A and B are shown apart, each in its own frame.
Chain A
Amino acid sequence: MSEWSILAETVLLGALSGGVMALIALSFVLVYKGTGAVNFAVGEVMMLGAYLYYAGVVSFDLPPWLAFVGSLVVIMAVSALVERLVLRPLAGQSVVAMLMATIGLASIIHGGVEAVAGGDTYSPPGLLPRTPMTIGDILIPGAVLGNFAIAALLILGFLAFFRWSRAGVALRATASDPVTAATLGIHIHRAQQLTWALSGLVGTVAGVLIASSVGLSPLLAGTALAVLAAIVLGGLDSVAGAIVASLIVGIVEALAAGYLGGKTREVVPYIVVLVVLVVRPYGIFGTRAIERL
């Protein structure tokens, strides 16, 4: 294979995995845009969803697609519950408090999953066919392509939902001005719970997709932290930014793994984060906060 082919393959595979990361980033940005809360537990929720899927298949002998739907439903319910029990009581407090609450939440979920399921790696069944695709010299594993396709569909679906559906517009209204939204008859608490539920949904899809490709273990939650790099690049409150940035991070990670060695894959996103924060603190697309004094 020529140099260019290797590079192209690396970039393409990176972009495809970035597409799935975009789901995780979307999960985060949804909650941030929708409720102003910062959800450090995104990775853990994603992991929980994947474990539930696996439990459904292995312990309850459900067919994969049913287990998948089941895990989605459970996670959505759990997310809504978290909003009610943890976030709403803390509504008045500072950003710091909210942040720490979600860190605490992440800790609870992580510990809980590890306590119940242990630290071993499992192989959940995939939802998609594994036939690979070849473009010229480049080989793309079927799972990677399938994951990307699902992620892309879901993201487009969300963009459409927010643009055109009544519920989506209501969520956007609640996000930008809860008080006015409430006076217009929108149930803001329900809207916020729905936002969290949708965030959980997206996270679970990402979790199941990733777990089917690389395996299920508590380390899954850690991949979300790398997605934070994407969020920083993309700006905290921009959906488009999160998607673009996820693709970029996916590509950068793949390049690093390919050319600098597999171990650097973990660190590179964080170095990128540090650099970006110093150079362009609000990210590529994020809105510059103009504080009213």
Chain B
Amino acid sequence: MTPTPAAGLGLSVEGVDLRFGGIHALRGVSFQAGPGQITAVIGPNGAGKTSVFNTISGFYRPAAGRIRLGESDITTAPVHARAGMGLARSFQNIALFRGLSVLENIKLGGHHGMRTGLLSALAFTPRARAEELALREEVERRVIDFLEIDHLRHKPVDALSYGLQKRVELARALAMRPRVLMLDEPVAGMNREETEDMARFILDVQEEWGVTVLLVEHDMAMVMDISSHVVVLNFGEVIAAGTPAEVRRHPAVIEAYLGAEVHP
């Protein structure tokens, strides 16, 4: 296992249509997350941002459209197969495993790369031991050091503060050696200082490892600060896309967030 991660892939969402019974959650949603760049998806509550993420993750099958990871079409790939293709994701409400420690949670990020079979695991053959140790070393050197959580490694996750839990979830996503990293509201509920720390980590991940980052966030300041491309959703449709500056001035965006201007 090499310490240097592979460069990020582009993620392309093309004409995705998603329905739940009578609800048309996403209509013809298309956008690109450029390789190695930070792209943000913003929009009012209920706009469909988490639905987009869940479709990319594979929990929802779109009624129409494609999702492409780099060159490959992953629209119909099973959820658990996407990890091996380089897709990682964090959740809006923390989805850490409370029965495991911080270290064990992070080690699970490496799950898709583990090859030891069940019988070998039960016997803990030298090969199993070697694989475990290699995973441990990789996780420690690449992720735990990087996110400065080494003092927490054996703690049970529910003993941690909210901000630290979010950081552990990021760590776990990073341990997947992702090419595309999806972060669903990474700084939700954080104070100023925690937000700045998290923003710094995200920027470091993108700069040092070249990972493509796709971000859903409500904190506008943070989004405008770190993203190079912004996509705006409202009522399941893309209403604007471009650089932060362009999007900020876009009339449809202003209307969506603040309401239309009333002309006398």
Chains A, B in direct contact (C-beta < 8 Å)? yes
Say whether B59 contacts A293, CB under 8 Å. Answer: yes
Is residue A290 within 8 Å, beta carbon to beta carbon, of the partner chain? yes
Question: For residue B59, which residues in chain A have a CB less than 8 angstroms away from its CB?
Answer: 293
Say whether B54 contacts A290, CB under 8 Å. Answer: no
A16 to B31, CA, bound (A): 61
Closest B residue to A290 using CB positions? B20
Question: For residue A293, which residues in chain B have a CB less than 8 angstroms away from its CB?
Answer: 50, 54, 59, 91
**Chain B residues touching A, range:** under 10
CB distance from B102 to the nearest CB of A (A): 22
CB distance from A13 to the nearest CB of B (A): 41
A290 to B59, CA, bound (A): 11
Closest A residue to B21 using CB positions? A290
A153 to B209, CA, bound (A): 70
Closest A residue to B95 using CB positions? A293
Question: For residue B91, which residues in chain A have a CB less than 8 angstroms away from its CB?
Answer: 293
CB distance from B159 to the nearest CB of A (A): 18
Interface of A is mostly: loop
CB distance from A60 to the nearest CB of B (A): 51
Complex interface residues of chain A between 274 and 293 (CB less than 8 A to chain B): 290, 293
Question: For residue B20, which residues in chain A have a CB less than 8 angstroms away from its CB?
Answer: 290
CB distance from A172 to the nearest CB of B (A): 21
Question: For residue B54, which residues in chain A have a CB less than 8 angstroms away from its CB?
Answer: 293
B48-85 to A contact mask, C-beta < 8 Å, 1/0: 00100010000100000000000000000000000000
Complex interface residues of chain A between 58 and 99 (CB less than 8 A to chain B): none
A290 to B20, CA, bound (A): 9
CB distance from B57 to the nearest CB of A (A): 8
Closest A residue to B93 using CB positions? A293
Complex interface residues of chain B between 110 and 136 (CB less than 8 A to chain A): none
CB distance from A112 to the nearest CB of B (A): 34
Question: For residue A290, which residues in chain B have a CB less than 8 angstroms away from its CB?
Answer: 20
CB distance from B185 to the nearest CB of A (A): 13
Closest B residue to A292 using CB positions? B50
A283 to B20, CA, bound (A): 20
Complex interface residues of chain A between 247 and 293 (CB less than 8 A to chain B): 290, 293
A18 to B116, CA, bound (A): 51
A167-186 to B contact mask, C-beta < 8 Å, 1/0: 00000000000000000000
Closest A residue to B53 using CB positions? A293
B6-27 to A contact mask, C-beta < 8 Å, 1/0: 0000000000000010000000
A293 to B56, CA, bound (A): 13
A25-44 to B contact mask, C-beta < 8 Å, 1/0: 00000000000000000000
A259 to B41, CA, bound (A): 64
A194 to B180, CA, bound (A): 52
Closest 5 CB pairs of A and B: A293-B54, A293-B59, A290-B20, A293-B50, A293-B91
Q: List 5 A-B contacts (CB under 8 A).
A: A290-B20, A293-B50, A293-B54, A293-B59, A293-B91
